[in-house]
Amino acid sequence: MAKKRKKIKQEEEEKYEFVPPEFDEKQFLTDEIKATKRILLIVGYGVLFGVLATLITVATGAAILGLLLLIVGFASMKFFFSSTKIDMSKFTKRTWLENGAWFFFTFLAIWILTVNPPFFDLAPPDVRDVKLWVDVKDFGWSEYNYTYHSSQNKYSWVGVASAPSVTTALQSALRNGTMVNISARIVDNSQLSGIPSIIFRQDLSDQQKVFAMNYTGSGHRYEYEITSLADYLKNNYLTFRIIANDAAGHQRIFNLATEAEVRLS
């Protein structure tokens, strides 16, 4: 009996034959053309909103308005497709996610590309990595980095390795007539206009001395060397600001924080 059932089962398996569904080439081509049309339309929509975001960003200088346009574009996407007479009845969640991705990346690419050189230059130069080098008698050159301490919400000069405090080092330079060097990394997304300058002052209303900085030759670093520290102090304070301009007319002013001004007394 078992052999008979086995034989019947084998005959049923042998009779089974997979028949693939009929391929409708015409419908396939129609669907592909519709999908391509949809993608081209959403890419064009992204380009339009990217250009509008650029114009608004350039006119107002507020990048947040460009991001608001991105939200408007997402919100109006359904209306856009209905105005182009695209059949949305077969749109699935995956279709909408695909539309959103095409719009987002197209918008972002156009916006970022056009608000930067060579089209536009909206950003001022960047002044960072400010350093102070002091030639301390009987010790040698000591390096101090202008550093922000988030836990204390303030800036200070942080010495490298076993360097003495910045106040001790500057007092030594003042007393012994040794050199002090101030440097910073100054860059622009296009190009700088002229040479950055450094102003020695005690406060914003009293600009004492203005000097052109010197390019070190590498790393976008500019420096200024002080040979006689006493000539750059006022009320025993050493403080300064660095000014950089770019070819587009933007200016960056680096101001030393009040708590990082060094009093030598």
- The CATH number of residue 231's host domain is 2.60.40
Looking at the structure, tell me whether residues 83 and 190 fall in a common domain. Answer: no
**Shared-domain flag, residues 259 and 133:** yes
The Cα–Cα gap between 186 and 197 comes to 11
What's the pLDDT at 5? 60
Residues 74 and 166 placed together within one structural domain of the fold: no
CA-nearest of 165, 231, 174 to 200 is: 231
| pLDDT (0 to 100) of residue 208 | 64
Residue 212: which region, alpha, beta or left (left: phi > 0; alpha: psi -120 to 50)?
A: beta
Q: Which long-range contacts (CB under 8 A, 24 or more apart) does 57-65 make?
A: 57/111, 57/115, 57/122, 58/115, 58/120, 58/122, 61/122, 63/115
Mean pLDDT value across the chain: 87
Residues 99 and 152 in one domain: no
- Tally Cβ neighbours within 10 Å of residue 123: 16
What pLDDT digit, counting tens, does each position of 122-166 carry? 889 999 999 999 999 989 999 999 999 999 999 999 999 889 999
Number of domains making up the chain:
2
Q: Say if 158 falls within a structural domain.
A: yes
Indicate whether 253 and 209 sit together in one domain. Answer: yes
Question: Are 256 and 130 found together in one domain?
Answer: yes
Examine the domain organization and report whether 107 and 183 are in the same domain: no
| Integer Rg of the chain from CA | 34
The answer on pLDDT for 207 being more than 80 is: no
* Last residue in a domain, options 114, 141, 168: 114
Region 59-84: mean pLDDT is 89
Q: Is 20 a domain residue?
A: no
Residue that terminates a domain, selected from 89, 114, 139:
114
**Coil, strand or helix at 220:** coil
Length of the chain: 265
Number of helices (H) and strands (E) in the chain: give both, helices first: 6, 12
To 10 degrees, the CA torsion angle through 218, 223, 228, 232?
180
Specify if 119 maps to a domain: no
* End residue of a domain, out of 114, 144, 167: 114
Mean pLDDT score, 197-211: 73
Q: What is the pTM of this model?
A: 0.70
- Same domain flag for 32 and 110: yes
The structure tokens listed for 166 are 């910045």
CB atoms within 10 A of CB 101: 11
Is 170 in the same domain as 227? yes
Q: Which domain holds residue 51?
A: 27-114
184 domain-assigned: yes
